[in-house]
A and B are shown apart, each in its own frame.
Chain A
């Protein structure tokens, strides 16, 4: 009988780990610690330096945000998933959004002036971004300069910086014509 109870406890424990936990936004209290990292109070527990992850970073910036932490054995433990950040209070939303914008810093491409292929596997793309005009160099551009969906353009430059354009069809005609030959 006692053994059975232990079994049930272990089964419960396993289910608890594997089940998707959609977090109740009204119970979440995120706050910034002195080091500017985000900690969380939830269900009476405090989690320091929580790890916030956009589960579908290319499709949505504010939905399906995983909230996790590293336990003392440095193991990844997920507290749960925020289905939609819009359910958070305004200041909580702002804090998380700022952090995520930071973590996923990715200037948006707003115009493409020119693309030059040096015939050695590199292209040099002269772009206007939300962080200013820049010429980025892309290595192995068949993989690092491509359409993720029919509309979304993604670029990864030689330094590891990422750029994206959510909808290439909204670019001006010249940009589209310049882009067309390369993607």
Chain B
């Protein structure tokens, strides 16, 4: 990222290492300010005049604080003693955050990095934020994208070629029909020449033959097209899904679940239908456009010109009209969407509506939404019905010219144009009709192409994304014993905002560790690093002395068992859910694991025992039951390292006690790392690691830390106070 953007008035850029413009100061008024950084100082200029000057070491840390409408760069000695250095609108946030990171790095290492390595997450071409994409989906080369898209037809090229062949044949037959019509009119109908019954019969048979042949060709065409379409869609969906599961958590978390689902289903479907429908049509329609145009010009170029000349102008007018229609329909769609949301809300929350007695207010809200939708839809329809007949008339205006001049030619009234028979005119107008259809389609094509190219770039972005957490070529399958070490680890989900700072600690084999601290302090982040869901920014995490980046991810994760706060049960039976991580387990092993986890008893009481369906549409298990299934799953998995991330947080103390026995069994002899908000659950840990503001504040046993009266002591005291207060209010979940 370029952090040397503008020099203050009267100064040169070369005087500074970094220099960024800012636009707010003092009373939230717009200013023309510059924040310039030399090798040891920060200088603030407004309108070229120096306002403030700080040495790097004047503050212990520099940070960007995001307010509601703007952000500011702050120098901090501690949370109380801080100073606002300058303020700016949100568009400058990332640049200033990166500058703070560089100055902070200089404060700890004494070395000022002179080039920022962070990439500007904006498209260099259109300037829009990339928002998790590696390449701007709007500026990606359309030709390249479509080439890749058509490349996916390769496995089905034979069948696709048959489909195209059939469509071309069909189009040729369509061209042939008007020719037969012309002969029928000119040779049989106009001269009343019914003496050659044979010729007439043959022509009628030919017409009938064309219909039969066309049906046959269409049938083959449809079959081939469906074959290609369905297979291609399946390939695309499968590839996108496979790749999605391969991606690192940081790549996945940049996209929402909805976005990913959209890419797997909607975007892939859109490409599927485009390739087999429009892709084929594109070839055929352009082909038929050329054939028909050539035939028209061969028949009578002057008349053909009359039909074609108005088209470019008409296309321009119609395109504008379509944009207007599109806007009105978009508006109507938005109102319909609002209406559905309101309906959904009111019906989903019907109990709340009834208990609050707000039926009338809801009815009124619904009436307004429904009325707005009706009005918007009616306006869109009016606009459509005004524009469409007019634009269609404009589109086919050439036809009227042809009819007028053609009729004159039949009557031999314009010798300059030559002569024409009635059959020829019928043939000519039929061909002009055939010319307008591909033209209408072509007019819609740009919008469709734009739409599809975005879907295609989204799909290919996933397919071609290089996952940032990947196995090295020389990674090993390690038989883990369970000694974990953090060596000076720095990590942030966003590089400019470190969550963990300089963490160095050991987790010895077979012992139990607790990580404690305020929420958001980085406890779960440490766990994510051990699981290698993310890679550290600086430092390393080792297991048995091997950097986890050198251990294959499959080998690492297959030896780590995790029990989370909320257990997700997949759609399927209890048995399938327990054996999820070890599908080849014997049924005896499953029951053994279930018994240790104290879930065998309740599973036996379920209507279909271990075959009871659970998940979204299945039997609803309570929170405690789900946790026990998760513990059984972890026991069966037989991991070397156990991670308990708030495993009992959502349970009441009675259920927690029952589950604790299962957990104790699970943790026996294995390295266990637990996070729990309720500190009492961790008091028996061999060692506690206390995090504070992203750094390691203290370590020791519960007793040691209580004696020390540091951060842990304060946390315990604060929690005791809250617990006592809850006792007073009588919340049974918190009776200790």
A131 beta carbon closer than 8 Å to chain B: yes
- Report the Cα distance A52→B231, complex, angstroms: 59
Q: Are A35 and B128 in contact (CB under 8 A)?
A: no
Judge if B728 is at the interface, Cβ distance under 8 Å: yes
With A and B bound together, what is the CA distance between A70 and B79 in angstroms?
A: 9
A53 to chain B, nearest CB (A): 9
Looking at the complex, which one of B69, B331, B715, B718 makes contact with A161 (CB distance below 8 Å)?
A: B69
Question: B78-101: contact bitstring with A at CB < 8 Å (1 yes, 0 no)?
Answer: 011111100101110100000000
- Cα distance A73–B82 when bound, in Å? 17
Residues on A with beta carbons closer than 8 Å to the beta carbon of B82: 35, 37, 49
Q: Which of A10, A11, A118 has the most CB of B within 10 A?
A: A10
Give chain B residues whose Cβ lies under 8 Å from the Cβ of A36. 83-84
Whether B90 pairs with A182 at a CB distance below 8 angstroms is no
**Cβ contact within 8 Å between B79 and A49:** yes
Q: Interface size class for chain B?
A: 35 or more
A142 at the interface (CB under 8 A from B): yes
Stretch at the interface among B22-30, B237-245, B464-472: B22-30
Return the chain B residue nearest A101 by Cβ.
B28
Contact residues in B for A74 (Cβ distance below 8 Å): 79, 518
B447 at interface by CB-CB < 8 Å: yes
Contact A120 B450 (CB under 8 A): yes
Known: A49-B79, A106-B69. A119 touches B27 (CB 8 A): no
How far is it, in angstroms, between the C-alpha of A166 and the C-alpha of B724 when the chains are bound? 48
Asked if B69 contacts A49 (CB within 8 A), the reply is: no
A182 to B82, CA, bound (A): 44
Chain B residue numbers with a CB within 8 Å of A158 are 128-129
A132 touches B30 (CB 8 A): yes
Q: How far is the CA of A48 from the CA of B331 in the complex (A)?
A: 50
Contact status B518-A73, CB under 8 Å: yes
List of A residues within 8 angstroms of B81 by Cβ: 35
* Least CB separation from A164: chain B residue: B69
Structural contact, B725 and A102, CB atoms closer than 8 A: no
**Contact residues in A for B257 (Cβ distance below 8 Å):** none
- CB within 8 A of B84: which of A7, A35, A48? A35
Contacts of B327 in A (CB 8 A): 117, 181
Query: Contacts A10-B728, A103-B68; is A160 near B79 (CB within 8 Å)?
Result: no
Main secondary structure of the interface of A (DSSP, over half): loop
In whole Å, how far is A181's beta carbon from the nearest beta carbon of chain B?
5
Interface string of A21-37 (1 = CB under 8 A from B): 00000000000001111
Asked if residues B90 and A160 are in contact (CB atoms below 8 Å), the reply is: yes
Report A55-91 CB contacts with B as 1/0, cut-off 8 Å.
Answer: 0010000000000001001100000000000000000
B658 contacts partner chain A, Cβ-Cβ < 8 Å: no
Asked if B355 CB lies within 8 Å of chain A CBs, one says: no
Taking a contact as CB atoms closer than 8 A, the residue among B69, B80, B128, B337 that contacts A122 in the complex is B128
Q: Chain A nearest CB: distance from B443 CB in Å?
A: 15
Closest to A48 in B: B80
Interface 0/1 of B478-510, CB less than 8 Å to A: 000000000000000000000000000000000
The 8 Å CB contact of A181, one of B24, B328, B451, B718, is B328
In contact, B718 and A142 (Cβ under 8 angstroms): no
Q: Which residues in B have their C-beta under 8 angstroms from that of A131?
A: 30
How large, as a class, is the contact surface on chain A? 35 or more
Q: Name the CB-closest residue of B to A142.
A: B334
- A73–B715 Cα distance when bound, in Å, is 8
CB nearest neighbor in B for A105: B69
- Chain A residues whose CB sits within 8 angstroms of the CB of B79 once the complex forms: 49, 70, 74
Which residues of the partner chain A approach B87 to less than 8 Å between Cβ atoms? 102, 105
B407 to chain A, nearest CB (A): 43
- Point out which of B127, B718, B728 has the most chain A C-beta atoms below 10 A from its C-beta: B728
Contact with A along B452-464 (1 / 0, CB 8 A): 0010000000000
The answer, yes or no, to whether A41 is at the interface (CB within 8 Å) is: no
- B331 proximity list for chain A (CB < 8 A): 181-182
- Residues of B within 8 Å of A167, CB to CB, are none
CB atoms of B68 and A14 under 8 A apart: no
**A137: interface (CB < 8 Å):** yes
Residues of B contacting A132 in the complex (Cβ-Cβ under 8 angstroms): 30
| The one of A34, A104, A106, A142 that contacts B337, using a Cβ cutoff of 8 Å | A142
Contacts of B67 in A (CB 8 A): 102-105
| A45 at the binding interface (Cβ < 8 Å) | no
Q: Does A98 contact B (CB under 8 A)?
A: yes
Collect the chain A residues with CB atoms within 8 Å of residue B69's CB.
Answer: 103-106, 161-162
For B693, give the chain A residue with the smallest CB separation: A74
B83 & A102 in contact (Cβ 8 Å cutoff): no
Q: Does A13 contact B (CB under 8 A)?
A: yes
Query: Within 8 Å of chain B (Cβ to Cβ): is A159?
Result: yes
User: In the assembly, what is the distance between CA of A120 and CA of B83, in Å?
Assistant: 42
Identify the closest chain A residue to B90 (Cβ). Answer: A160
Q: How far is the CB of B717 from chain A (nearest CB, A)?
A: 10
Return chain B residues, CB-CB under 8 Å to A162: 68-69
CB closest chain-B residue, reference A160? B90
**A102-B90 contact in complex given A120-B450, A120-B454, A131-B30, C-beta closer than 8 Å:** no
Do A14 and B728 touch across chains, with their CB atoms under 8 A apart?
Answer: yes
Q: Are A73 and B714 in contact (CB under 8 A)?
A: yes
Report the minimal beta-carbon distance from A171 to chain B, rounded to whole angstroms.
18
- In the complex, which residue of chain A has the Cβ closest to the Cβ of B129? A158
**CB nearest neighbor in B for A53:** B68
Determine whether the beta carbon of B728 is less than 8 Å from that of A102.
Answer: no
Q: What is the bound-complex CA distance between A70 and B693, given in angstroms?
A: 14
0 or 1 for each of B124-135: is its CB under 8 Å from A? (1 = yes):
000111010000
Taking Cβ atoms with an 8 Å cutoff, the residues of A that contact B are 7, 10-11, 13-14, 34-37, 48-49, 57, 70, 73-74, 98, 101-106, 117-120, 122, 131-132, 137, 139, 142, 158-162, 181-182
Of all A-B residue pairs in the complex, the 7 with the closest CB atoms, nearest first, are A35-B83, A160-B90, A105-B69, A159-B91, A102-B28, A105-B70, A101-B28
Show 15 A/B contacts (Cβ-Cβ < 8 Å), sorted by A: A7-B728, A10-B724, A34-B83, A37-B82, A98-B27, A102-B67, A105-B28, A105-B69, A119-B450, A132-B30, A137-B128, A139-B131, A142-B337, A159-B90, A161-B90
Given A120-B450, A142-B334, A160-B91, 9 additional A-B pairs, CB 8 A: A14-B728, A37-B83, A49-B82, A73-B714, A102-B27, A122-B128, A132-B30, A159-B93, A182-B331
